[in-house]
Amino acid sequence: MSASSGALRSSLNIGARRSQRLAQAMQRWPVSVRVAAGVLGVLVVVALLANVIVPLDDTAVDLDRVLDGPSAAHLMGTDEVGRDLFARVLHGFRISLTIAVLAALAAVIVGTVVGVLAGTMGGKVDALVMRVTDVFASQNHFLFGILLLVLFRPALGGAGAVMLAVGLTHWPSLARIVRRELMSLRERPFVSAAIGGGASRWRLARRHYLPHLMPAVGLAFVLTVPHAVFHESAYSFLGLGLPAHEASLGNILADGQRSLLAGGWWIALFPGLAILTAAMTISTLAEYWREHLHPRWRSELEL
Amino acid sequence: MTSLLEVEDLSVGFRTRRGVVEALSHASVTIRPGELLLVVGESGSGKTVLAHMLLALLPRNVDVSGSVRLGGQELLALPPAELRRVRGRRMALIPQSPASSLNPVRKLGGQLLEAARARGLSEKQARTRLRELLAELGLDLEFIGGRYVHQLSGGMQQRVVNAMALVGEPDIVIADEPTSGLDADLVDATAAQLREISARGESLLVITHDLRLAERLAGRLALLYASRIVEVGPTMSFFAGPAHPYGRELLRALPEREGKSIPGLAPELTALPGHCAFADRCPDRFDRCGESIPDLYPAPDGVLARCFVHAER
Amino acid sequence: MFGVLAAAFRGTLFDWLVRTLCYFNTAAPSFWIGLLALYVFSIELGWLPAGGTSDPRAVEASGVDLEHLILPMVILALTQYAWFTLFVRNTMLEILREDHVQFARAQGIGELAVLLRYALPNALIPFVTLIGTHLAELIGGTILIESIFGWPGLGLLALDAARSEDIPMIVGITLCASVLVVLGNLLADVSYRIIDPRVREATT
């Protein structure tokens, strides 16, 4: 077992060599990609350390400075209750990003499983699965998501429902990609060789298909995260996602909408800026990755 | 005989992220009216770049130096738009792959007319000329005009493209890889077609890597290797016995001769050596070959060869 | 249109500007832009009304409630537009590299003509089909925009239904949306057939 997995590992350059290759590749990145990576890196680190940097305390109200613009004391100003916006946005960023990543992960997992199912089984199973996929794929992401939220929020809570909504709306394209890849992989000689060697379907799937699918799946995952961020904040903005007291970026934006008339533009500006930055940096990196992938995958990954 | 097209010391380099790619170095060649010139070389030798250079099809990231004179007029001094017009009227291209060279979503009639109008013909003149030309080639204008590219056979597509090239009565016709994608048994037919075109009086420049095609055509031959012209002379002399070692090895590599391939690889165009580019693979190499770049020296039978072997004379 | 221009002037400042603006627009949440626009144009500058619609009788008289329509419409169009522009640009770039474009240039045909008659028609084919399939996405966008601008449309209806957990209503609207998706796809397929002569052959 270890001998053959060792051979597989070295043939795919996994392990120690991957970091070397990454370092080499990074040197070739154009300026825009480096900037994006840098900004994203900083943001992620800051978000992860949010609790350390600025602990979120709902009771930390500065009643002298209710609805105050950006100032030295409060970098992004305060909201209508006097809470520091910077802290809220920081935590909101963490929360929103976490949910988005998990939601994208859910979509990817469901999509991959379905895709593998359809791709390896073939025949009637394939046909049935693809029709189901079509039904899901033909839904407007948003409306269907709202339906799911309304149905499942009582049971799963805000965060869970959002993850479900995003997951169930975004998996079809992934399933199709996986299935297509599998169908072409099945024709390849190394698969016939493996089957000749007596490999079972399950073994085939695990040891041979998965490594080849990883890059495409990984890329699809990264491409889905910005969508997930958008959806999560949109749902929360509409009051259908995370409960209002939790500092999700969407919720803060909703507060922003309310305080616009009172002139509190900063409450609307900063959370949106955070969403924008997250989406742009991730997209830039993902697009660069896509351009350098095998050309065949490019057209299929037009999410 | 006065020459029609004079290329002198032409160098074309592409600016890329990896550095400057010297696609063509100090190439000098002349084409006389009505002459057939074969430009032969492997892929990457610079022959396609030469053709594109003449047709103003090069991308924007190029450095060009040297001189290209068409009928006395210096082309490189013209602004790009003017250049393209001049070349469009006096030079015509028969592209490599007729099927993909025609606009798939437009009817052919419109494309043919536009080609003719671009060469300065009026609407009426264009129609008459096209009808005549297509008839000569065995096609009917009305039939072709209403159809799309994919509705024609390969042979018909080739003839449409030929017509588009000849309609403006160009001074020079450039045929780019006429045998690419064709089966070997069609080489004779293609050679015959090219000879017919040449017989009409225009100069013909044939770009190819296919030695079998070259063998069947008369005129002169220029051999390119690693961005330089290494041999120029009558085609017959070349096939009887090339003056340059590369030419010799190339012929030996043909299956119908010895089938012995040349060891090694051509040098990278981003890092051309300061000596004879073929030296590393040359069986006749001696000391001087590794020291400097040879000029084109006269060799027997009216041939010029870029090899120190002939410098001794 | 901007996509075509950006492809034609690839690598220039204009191209970079167009691309950056488009990336910006596709990454930025539409409702955020909507809010900011609302703030700037309505609240600060007072040029346009902040939302809702005017007197229904007046609307019926003129037919179009322009004042209230402008801002939501523009914002809604903006995000879609950015995506389309990028797509057109990329498609054009690919087509400009193709043989038939090169050949047309080699004949001496002017660059503008090449762009308009050779490159663009080929680029429009995938574009038109894209529009068809994206038709349904618009509905999702309207929910957000309508909630910001208080425009009483299908979107707000869906939102209210969601907030009051009126499931049958939501299901109904969702079904309508899926019908639109299917219609949009159908439209795309049909138009593809009309526009691309190669496809016409294959299906007859």
Q: How far apart are CA A99 and CA A17, in angstroms?
A: 32
Q: Are residues B13 and B159 in the same domain?
A: no
> In the numeric block, which tokens belong to residue B58?
């090069």
Collapsing DSSP to helix, strand or coil, B214 comes out as helix
* A233, A236, A238, A241 alpha-carbon torsion, rounded to 10°: 130
Q: What is the pLDDT of residue C171?
A: 79
Would the pLDDT of A297 be above 70? no
The confidence score (pLDDT) of residue A10 equals: 45
B119 and B218 inside one domain: no
Residue B176 three-state SS: strand
Q: B105, B173, B176, B177: which to substitute to probe chain C, counting the most C Cβ within 10 Å?
A: B105
**C31/A234 CB distance under 8 A:** yes
How far apart CA B25 and CA B45 sit, in angstroms, is 10
B76-85, B252-261, C66-75: range with lowest mean pLDDT: C66-75
Host H or E run for residue B41? strand B36-41
pLDDT-derived band at B303, boundaries 50, 70, 90: confident
Q: How confident is the model at residue B33 (pLDDT cuts 50, 70, 90)?
A: confident
What are C37's two structure tokens?
A: 């626009």
Nearest CA in chain A to C44: A263
Read off the pLDDT of residues B123-169 as tens digits, 9 standing for 90 and up.
Answer: 888 888 888 888 888 888 888 888 888 888 888 888 888 888 888 78
* Same domain (yes/no): B91, B109: no
Confidence of residue C3 (pLDDT cuts 50, 70, 90): low
Cα atoms in the Cβ-side hemisphere of radius 13 Å centred on C161: 22
Cβ pair B309, B295 in contact under 8 A: no
Burial class of residue B18 (count of CB atoms within 10 Å of its CB; 0-12, 13-18, 19+): exposed
CA B23 – CA B46 distance, rounded (Å): 5
Same domain (yes/no): B49, B118: no
Residue A139 to residue C147, Cβ atoms within 8 A: no
pLDDT digit string, tens, across residues A172-211: 888 888 888 777 777 777 666 766 666 666 666 666 677 7
Domains of chain A: 82-298 (1.10.3720.10)
The SS3 of residue B225 is strand
User: Which of A287-291, B23-27, B249-253, C200-204 bottoms out in mean pLDDT, i.e. has the lowest?
Assistant: C200-204
Highest mean pLDDT: which of A75-84, A196-205, C100-109? C100-109
| Average pLDDT of the segment spanning A138-160 | 78
Q: What values do phi and psi take at B206, rounded to 5?
A: -110, 120
- Is there a domain that residue B50 lies in? yes
For residues B214 and B231, state if they share a domain.
yes
pLDDT digits (tens, 9 = 90+) for C23-73: 777 777 777 777 777 777 766 655 555 555 544 444 444 444 566 667 777
A300 has a pLDDT exceeding 50: no
The count of residues in chain A is 303
Mean pLDDT, residues A165-174:
85
Q: Is the pLDDT assigned to residue A122 strictly greater than 50?
A: yes
**Average pLDDT over chain B, rounded to whole?**
82
Query: Which one is predicted more confidently, B11 or A239?
Result: B11
In a domain, B151, yes or no: yes
pLDDT mean across residues, chain C? 72
**Three-state secondary-structure class, residue B232:** strand
Its sign, for the CA torsion B127, B131, B132, B136, is positive
Task: State the average pLDDT over residues C104-108.
Answer: 79
Residue-level pLDDT at C51? 53
Would you give the DSSP letter of residue B243?
S
**C156 contacts in chain A (CB < 8 Å):** none
Would B303 be classed as within a structural domain?
no
Give the Cα separation of C127 and B301 in Å (integer): 60
Q: Rounded to an integer, what distance in angstroms lies between the CA atom of residue B89 and that of residue B172? A: 10
- Domain holding B25, by residue range, is 5-95+172-185+206-267
Burial of A96 (0-12, 13-18, 19+ CB in 10 A): buried
Lookup result for tokens 């204008």: B141
The CATH number of residue B26's host domain is 3.40.50.300
Clarify whether residues B180 and B232 are in a common domain: yes
pLDDT at A68: 62
B179 and B254, same domain (yes or no): yes
Q: Please write the tens of the pLDDT for every residue from A17-55.
A: 666 666 666 666 777 777 878 888 888 887 777 666 666
Mean pLDDT of A274-283: 85
Beta-carbon separation of B100 and C98 below 8 A: yes
- Residues of A within 8 A of C50 (CB-CB) are 261
Amino acid code (one letter) for A168:
L
* Residue B117 domain-assigned (yes or no): yes
Together in a domain, B91 and B178: yes
Q: How far apart are the C-alpha atoms of C139 and C151, rounded to whole Å?
A: 13
Query: Is the model more confident about C136 or about B30?
Result: B30
Name the residue with higher pLDDT: B1 or C83. C83
Residue A249: pLDDT over 50 = yes
**Taking the mean position of all CA atoms in its chain, how far away is CA C116?**
22
What local confidence, expressed as pLDDT, does residue C23 receive? 77
Query: Which of C11, C103, C196 is the closest to B95 by Cβ?
Result: C103
- What pLDDT is recorded for position C201? 59
Mean pLDDT of C175-188: 79
Interstrand relation of B5-16 and B91-94 (parallel, antiparallel or unpaired)? unpaired
Given an 8 Å threshold on Cβ–Cβ distance, is C173 in contact with A139? Answer: no
B246 and B154 assigned to the same domain: no
Backbone angles phi, psi at B249, to 5 degrees: -65, -35
**Minimum mean pLDDT among A11-15, B152-156, C117-121, C138-142: which range?**
A11-15
**d(Cα C202, Cα C199) in Å, to the nearest integer?**
5
Q: Name the CA radius of gyration of chain A, rounded.
A: 23
Cβ-defined contact of C106 to B55 (cutoff 8 Å) = yes
| Together in a domain, B16 and B64 | yes
| B21 within some domain | yes
Report the number of distinct structural domains present in chain B. Answer: 2
Note the Cα A35 to chain centre separation in Å.
20
C-beta atoms surrounding A50 within 10 Å: 18
Interface mutation target, options C20, C25, C32, chain A, most CBs of A under 10 Å: C32
Which pLDDT value is given to residue A299? Answer: 44
Q: Is the pLDDT of residue A138 over 70?
A: yes
Q: Which of C15, C99, C107 would best serve as a mutation to test chain B binding (most B beta carbons within 10 A)?
A: C107
Q: Are residues B28 and B83 both part of a single domain?
A: yes
Quick one: which of B47, B177, B42, B43 has its CA closest to B101?
B177
Which ranges of C99-166 does DSSP label H, i.e. alpha helix? 99-106, 111-113, 120-134, 137-149, 154-163
C touches which chains (3+ CB pairs under 8 A)? A, B
Place of tokens 């100032």: A71
Instruction: Decide the pairing of beta strands B91-94 and B172-176.
Output: parallel
Q: How many residues does chain C have?
A: 204
Q: Convert the pLDDT of each residue in B280-301 to its tens digit.
A: 888 888 888 888 888 888 888 8
Residue B28 domain flag: yes
Hunting for tokens 């922003």 — which residue is that? A256
pLDDT of residue A83: 72
Burial environment of residue A34 by CB neighbours within 10 A (0 to 12, 13 to 18, 19 or more) = middle
Is residue B83 one of the residues assigned to a domain? yes
Query: Distance, in angstroms, between C122 CA and closest chain B CA?
Result: 7
Percent of chain A residues topping a pLDDT of 90: 0
pLDDT tens digits for B166-209? 887 888 888 888 887 777 778 888 888 888 888 888 888 899 88
The number of residues making up chain B comes to 313
B51 vs A120: which has the higher pLDDT: B51
pLDDT at C57: 46
Distance of alpha carbon B260 from alpha carbon A136, whole angstroms: 61
CA distance A276 to A226: 9
- The closest CB to that of C99, out of B97, B105, B114, belongs to B97
Which pLDDT score, from 0 to 100, does residue A295 have?
52
pLDDT at A16 over 60: no
Judged against a pLDDT cut of 70, whether residue A3 lies above it is answered with no
Q: In the numeric block, which tokens belong to residue A299?
A: 């057209």
Q: Are B115 and B211 members of one domain?
A: no
Q: B84 contacts in C (CB within 8 Å)?
A: 105, 108, 110-111
Find the DSSP H helices in chain A.
Answer: 2-11, 16-27, 31-48, 50-53, 85-121, 123-137, 141-186, 189-196, 201-203, 210-237, 249-259, 265-291, 295-300
Query: B105 and C109: CB-CB below 8 Å?
Result: no
Tell me what pLDDT residue B179 has: 82
User: Which residues fall within 8 angstroms of residue C113, CB to CB, at 6 or more apart?
Assistant: B114, C104
Residue A66: pLDDT band with limits 50, 70, 90? low
Q: How many helices (H) and strands (E) does chain B have?
A: 11, 12
Domain assignment of residue B138, yes or no: yes
CA dist., res. A16 & res. A23, Å (int)? 12
Residue B85: pLDDT over 80:
no
